[in-house]
Amino acid sequence: MTEAVLTKVSVPTTLLQDLVNRAAKGSTMQDIIPLSCLMQVKIKDKKLSVRTTDNTNFVTATSQSTVEADDFEIVVETKLFQALISKLSKENTTLSVEGNSVTITADGTYNIPLSVDADGSRISFPEPTFTPVGGSKVVTPEEVRSILSLNKACKADAKEIPAIYNYYFDGSQVLTTNVFKGCKNSISVFDTAVCLPPNVVDLLSVVTDSTGVTVEQSEDAVLFSSTLGEVYGKKCLPADLEAFPVDGLSEAFGAQIDTSVEFSKTSLVGALDRIGLFADTLESNKLVITFDSTGLLLHSEKTKSEEKVAYLPSSVPVTSSVTFAIDAKYLKEEIASLTADQIKIKFSADFGLQIICDKAIIMLCVLDENA
């Protein structure tokens, strides 16, 4: 005999798609960690939310408007559920729970099993607990975008040196580096020094609304929250915080570099795109650059190819030429990550380049001071 329908709700399809797609960014879907493959869909007090986890950090995407439905909860396999929901086109989607399966009705009728424990009972999705220490801060949307573009572009991509794989925050700045380049962003996110792994920082984009995101911390975790939902993330271990090269970066960014010029971003990226084809890939994409009185000369010693980029009229006149080698790939990446079309660059044969962008300074080190 067929079991009676236990729960049935209908929600706007576009709302469900938005919440599922945003929350899915927190689901790592690793088979060896079953919980990381699951997704909770929940209605509580007329608010629809979707939650995922990688078994350590949690992402909850929440509806800003209310839905006309009673309390409801299911836990399903993320990959299949997201794939189906993303393809629906009807105005509303109905979810009907019967036994250990959910029937999804929209363009058609689709049956997906609910996730169950070994004993056959439905899985209860864990709820992270968070006890804040200290106050909270609001980080603006512009500041979030700056961290996720400028700082992210300067961070180490691999874990060979764990300390610089992470983001460093303190009361006045956000620091990232990969040894060859670094970013100092004068944005205050936390009152105390905190290191966060990139998978947590990347999730800021999921919950930043038109006013920004509220940031809090506990002894071992942080909470990013807004009208769009919450991100609960674990801090790095104290050893990672202690190992982060704050002093070395502070010394490098504090170097006195007085000479500066300005460029059109479009012109500089275009030149780097072309001349970068001739960079010496066997030596860290080496390109020799010369700042002289008329512009920036980009030249490849290996192929004798070169191109010159003119300064903007707002530049300070260059009275003596300075030449050194730089990583062409890194330089192009950093210039391309900027939003303004007018780029200010400070340079020194000893310290390399400093790209000035609003609250941020991006630094690229000299490859070969004898170039």
Tens-place pLDDT, residues 233-259? 999 999 999 999 999 999 889 888 878
Distance CA 201, CA 151 (A): 11
| CA distances for 179 relative to 160, 170, 343, 365, angstroms | 12, 20, 23, 8
Distance CA 87, CA 79 (A): 13
Residue 326 structure tokens: 């730089």
What are the φ and ψ backbone dihedral angles of 104, each rounded to 5 degrees?
-105, 120
Give exposure, 235-261, as e/b (b: 16+ Cβ within 10 Å).
bbeeebbebbbeeebeebbeeebebeb
CA angle, residues 174, 183, 256, in degrees to nearest 5? 110
Distance CA 96, CA 111 (A): 9
Q: In which residue ranges of the chain is pLDDT below 70? A: 1-6, 368-371
pLDDT at res. 3:
46
DSSP annotation of 280 reads B
Residue 303 structure tokens: 């192929």
pLDDT at res. 267:
95
| CA distances for 68 relative to 12, 43, 64, 96, angstroms | 10, 10, 13, 15
pLDDT at res. 227:
96
Q: 33-79, pLDDT tens digit by residue?
A: 889 999 999 999 999 999 999 999 999 999 999 998 889 999 999 99
Provide DSSP, 53-95.
Answer: ESSS-EEEEE-SS--S---EEEEEEHHHHHHHHHH--SSEEEE
pLDDT at res. 32:
87
Question: Which residues make beta-bridge pairs with 305?
Answer: 300
Question: Which residues make beta-bridge pairs with 287?
Answer: 326
Residue 2 structure tokens: 């067929």
DSSP annotation of 160 reads S
pTM: 0.89
Q: What structural domains does the chain harbor? A: 7-113 (3.10.150.10), 137-171+185-239 (no CATH), 260-364 (3.10.150.10)
pLDDT at res. 1:
35
